[in-house]
Structure 1
């Protein structure tokens, strides 16, 4: 449990880490306003919250410089001291996609972790931010809440970790015939949620879902006490208690962010031919260890996370004794980011699942004490009721008339990789690793849909204050060019002297899609989003496969990995800092950036080459998590890179 990881901290930290129960509590309101405006994105005045800014500043000045110096030594052809005038700034985004995304994200993070025998140079240790959404938020939060153990310790339950216990199904951990165990399991979940309802707060299916997730991704439940109704199961663990872990206190871990999105009403959900559930224009929310809110121009405001669930009218508490604490339950936060029930309510896949959901909804109705709760989304009393964002004249926040803020799965607007918060100019990131385990195709592989959604949202709703690099124009182009089989750099070149905060500037996006194994056969990681349990052997195989995929880069000749891939990634990581320092690209980095960077100029070459090698994800199915042969003829980019260099094409972003 978190408390054992914080024993060296003052006692008050441990007390704050675990609330007495799952139920929030009412407290006196502070004298200062709970709403803090982020500044207007329209005039470039956005700023970080003070605690976040202090964390990042300390991490940049005291923790990261020696790590960067070690990472950059020797092989890039640069003078490291020149690059460190304004050091690189890195973020990692981990997509949604249920347990598939959690495992793929964790396995890829293993490839970024310097503590593993094979790694890409310790980019996990160098990252300033990690953002997770839905299944990705489960992994990001589990790492942060458990004090940043290694992937294999965390997931498999080694060296003091309890493990994710993924052989216990999230909805029916006792198995189809384990009626007694399943009854005990749901008694544990519903009794916790009942306490919240009896305290006068709205509850929904997401509360039960979040409590179930807690029993896997945090450290308060073991295999031996999983069905024990007398055990606590981290029912009072707060997401804000990440601040009290040792690695956070020493600024030794990336700053974590969990992403969700706003739904105005059931009627507002998109139906028909649209591929999204929530409109792209809706506000994207972020949970940080300190705040809840959004940098989107539709809101541009936040509240302290410790006061999440406090109802405010135009920024003012309606009752000075009715502010809320302990609403940021850790399971509730990651359940909110993965609150997909409203999106699949008409698509429950089996009678068993339908009956279970119906039973749970009936249980929720029985324990509900208020009449304004919304059953299939996360219910958060609206701190932004009646709120008008800065710089918007009389234009209100879209949910400013809702007593309950309806918050849903962060990927329901199509942005399944949580890039938005990492594109915020105030965070000044130079490069973002986009780990994509989406299930966009018929066989559950990603095809660039999420990046296209972010590009569209940036263009149509955020163009005045943020930017996104040029990318292919459709999922078909991503597939046709082989970009779904290997890592690719987008946005390599900008004309703002490396200043990522300047208008029109953007970070380099390193797209790292879930893909079949490089050898053409092996464990396939394209399992269903609705697969809610994995055998221990499958967990190890999945992590290993994701780790290998993260390490492979572009295949070269008969090799299953590119030995230059770690160096290519290093060149991309420092490229904005290099530009800021006025240093020309070194010969080796120029060659590798040409090899891995995408531009319109290489699109046709990539398409022709992919077609000639038979690169196609459409034929790659999975065996429900078992090993199987892939029909993919994996793409080698070395010949393509040679053609690009030979024809002298300029790889402009």
Structure 2
């Protein structure tokens, strides 16, 4: 039962309809394709990168080159040749997991690479962010990535601290714990009830879990719609912010942002294999998934299939779902460690309470995992000989680093992306490093 929160439930329900968001159904477009097979990137991503290289990167690399030269640091000849060449390299930035620490550390590194930061410009690092082609994040790094993209690519200072106008985005609210936001039982109960009621529309049509509650809680900390003043009020708290809608943002429409990618892992009952040492729970032979603004999918040989991000939740080519791809639900999936914690004695009580609250409010079938983030499987029946979860109707997804890949390098290694240099932001070891990929085929 909801205990002390019950008294607030009817009050919240009375106003929930005005702020309730969730997936909707409509007839699929005539040219709709549920699954795209292959290990090439989508035509939409290819076009975005081509436009960015033609319209943005020439000036971005020129500005970065000038910033480097102003430092008067002697560079290796090949570096000078690269910076002065019109055939500039393809640069990807990968920012790691690690919770709040990863988000904050990653933000600091991006700030050091930002050409809008005068201090970074003087040091010769500013401008490399603008010259990057791709930006990938997982777990805590996905919080940074999602927050940065949905806020229309502001400076890191404005992203983290707000613009001072106290409108719909007051900066990151990391002073609040994600789960236990108040020591006042009544206030904490209001928070819990709000989280649960915000899941109501989705729960009518789709299986929900603690992953949905996690995404709703994270949205209060990292997306537009929440300030300190309205943290406990019954507002949308970013519920209508969709990952696929990022394409409409001015800085993405003008190709000013690096192409954003979030990494996920799958929790499978069918896959057994070696698990990377440490606090990991996913076998190394499990396929890796990613979500970008156009597609969710897997480039690994075992599946090599993709589905439109805009229509996540769709499982056929007749009735299409929209609104399933809530930004912080996806980012929350990439940071969902509850399946791992449920297998240990260190399960946090607050997490256990939310799992119980979700299942009590929206009872699920006994066979459904309530500790993962659950996606209707668009790849049902696809590659049955190699993709073991082809038989499942639900994909149980979790933290993108549970297979040991704490820094999301995999999206940068997709051959068709032709990435030359990877800047890896490793918040676990608190360092940033550059990986230079040499592709003989292109030299």
Where in structure 1 are there 5+ consecutive unaligned residues? 1-18, 40-45, 389-393, 439-444, 447-485, 500-579, 581-653
Q: Is the 8 A contact 2:271 2:286 kept in 1?
A: no
Instruction: State the alpha-carbon separation in 2 of the partners of residues 33 and 303 from structure 1.
Output: 10
**Deviation string, structure 1 residues 455-507 (Cα, Å, up to 9, x no partner):** xxxxxxxxxxxxxxxxxxxxxxxxxxxxxxx6555557x4716x2xxxxxxxx
Tell me what 1:152 maps to.
157
Tell me how far 1:223 sits from its aligned partner.
0.5
Change (3 A) 1:172 1:387: same
- In structure 2, C-alpha distance between the alignment counterparts of 1:82 and 1:335, rounded to whole Å: 38
For the structure 1 residues 490 and 87, does the alpha-carbon distance in structure 2 shift closer, same or farther, using more than 3 Å as the test?
closer
* Matches for 1:118-267 after TM superposition, within 5 Å: 118-119=119-120, 120-160=125-165, 161-174=169-182, 177-198=183-204, 200-229=205-234, 231-265=235-269
- Taking the aligned partners of 1:108 and 1:272, their CA distance within structure 2 comes to 27
**Counterparts of 2:24 and 2:363 in 1: how far apart (Å)?**
15
SS in structure 2 opposite 1:125?
helix
Aligned to 1:292: 296
Deviation at 1:295, TM superposition (A): 1.3
Quickly say closer, same or farther: Cα 1:38–1:83, change in 2 above 3 A: farther
CA distance 1:342–1:269, change in 2 (3 Å): farther
Match of 2:90 in 1: 89
CA contact (8 A) 2:287 2:300 kept: yes
The answer to whether the 8 Å contact 2:274/2:285 transfers is: no
What's the CA shift for 1:423? Answer: 0.8
Distance 1:248 1:208 in 2: 28
- Checking the alignment, whether the CA contact within 8 Å between 1:63 and 1:251 is kept in structure 2 is yes
SS at match of 2:137: strand
What residue in structure 1 maps to residue 373 of structure 2?
Answer: 378
Q: What does residue 359 of structure 1 align with?
A: 353
Q: CA deviation at 1:272?
A: 11
Residues in 2 aligned to 1:332 and 1:488: alpha-carbon distance in whole angstroms: 29
| Helix, strand or coil at the partner of 1:86 | coil
Look up the match of 1:69.
62
2-side partners of 1:133 and 1:495: how far apart? 26
Q: Displacement, 1:293?
A: 0.6
Distance 2:280 2:270 in 1: 14
Corresponding residue for residue 409 of structure 1: 399
Q: What is the aligned partner in structure 1 of residue 28 from structure 2?
A: 29
Counterparts of 1:541-560 in structure 2, within 5 Å, are none
In the alignment, what sits opposite 2:10? none
By how many angstroms is 1:139 displaced?
Answer: 0.1
Task: Name the structure 2 match of 1:540.
Answer: none
**1:633 aligned partner:** none
1:248-397 to 2 correspondence within 5 Å?
248-265=252-269, 275-312=279-316, 317=317, 320-321=318-319, 323-347=320-344, 349=346, 353-354=348-349, 356-368=350-362, 370-371=364-365, 372-388=367-383, 395-397=385-387
Instruction: Work out whether residues 69 and 80 of structure 1, in 8 Å CA contact, stay in contact via their aligned partners in 2.
Output: no
Q: How far did residue 142 of structure 1 move?
A: 0.5
Tell me how far apart the structure 2 counterparts of residues 162 and 495 of structure 1 sit (CA, whole Å): 44
Whole-angstrom CA distance in 2 between matches of 1:489 and 1:253:
20
Q: Which residue of 1 aligns with 2:421?
A: 431
Unaligned stretches of 5+ in structure 2?
1-17
Deviations 1:219-269 (A, max 9, x none): 10111010012x221222211121111111111111110110112139859
Q: Tell me how far 1:303 sits from its aligned partner.
A: 0.9
* Alignment counterpart, residue 440 of structure 2, candidates 488, 491, 496: 496
Partner deviation per Cα, 1:99-144 (whole Å, 9 max, x = no partner) = 1111111111111111112221311111111000000000011000
- Distance (whole Å) between structure 2 residues aligned to residue 495 and residue 155 of structure 1: 37
Structure 1 residues 324 and 490, CA, compared in 2 at 3 Å: closer, same or farther? closer
Alpha-carbon contact 1:385-1:401 (below 8 Å) kept: yes
Measured after TM superposition, the shift of residue 379 of structure 1 is 0.5
Take 1:87 and 1:187, find their aligned partners in 2: how far apart are those partners? Answer: 52
Matched-pair contact (CA < 8 Å) for 1:65–1:84: no
Q: Does 1:48 align with 2:53?
A: no
Higher relative contact order (CA 8 A, sep 6+): 2
Instruction: Select which of 45, 51, 54 maps to 1:58.
Output: 51
Q: 8 Å contact 1:38–1:295 — kept in the other structure?
A: no
Q: Is the 8 A contact 2:117 2:126 kept in 1?
A: no
Distance 1:347 1:275, change over 3 A: closer
Distance verdict in 2 for CA 1:401–1:222, change over 3 Å:
same
Tell me the distance in 2 between the aligned counterparts of 1:490 and 1:56.
21
Q: 2:98, 2:427 within 8 Å by CA — same for their partners in 1? A: yes
For each residue in 1:148-182, what CA deviation from the matched residue of structure 2 results, as whole angstroms up to 9, or x when unmatched?
Answer: 111121112235541111111111111xx311211
Q: Is the 8 A contact 2:19 2:236 kept in 1?
A: no
Judged with a 3 Å threshold, the aligned counterparts in structure 2 of structure 1 residues 71 and 25 are, in CA distance, closer, same or farther, namely same
Instruction: Say whether the 8 Å CA contact 1:38–1:49 is kept in structure 2.
Output: no
Q: TM-score, length-normalised on structure 2?
A: 0.86
- In the alignment, the residues of structure 2 paired with residue 344 and residue 57 of structure 1 have an alpha-carbon distance, to the nearest angstrom, of 42
**8 Å contact kept, 1:258–1:286:** yes
Query: How far did 1:84 drift?
Result: 3.0
Partners of 1:488 and 1:235 in 2: how far apart?
35
**TM-score using structure 1 length:** 0.59
Number of the residue aligned with 1:104: 105
| Distance of 1:359 and 1:207 partners within structure 2 | 14
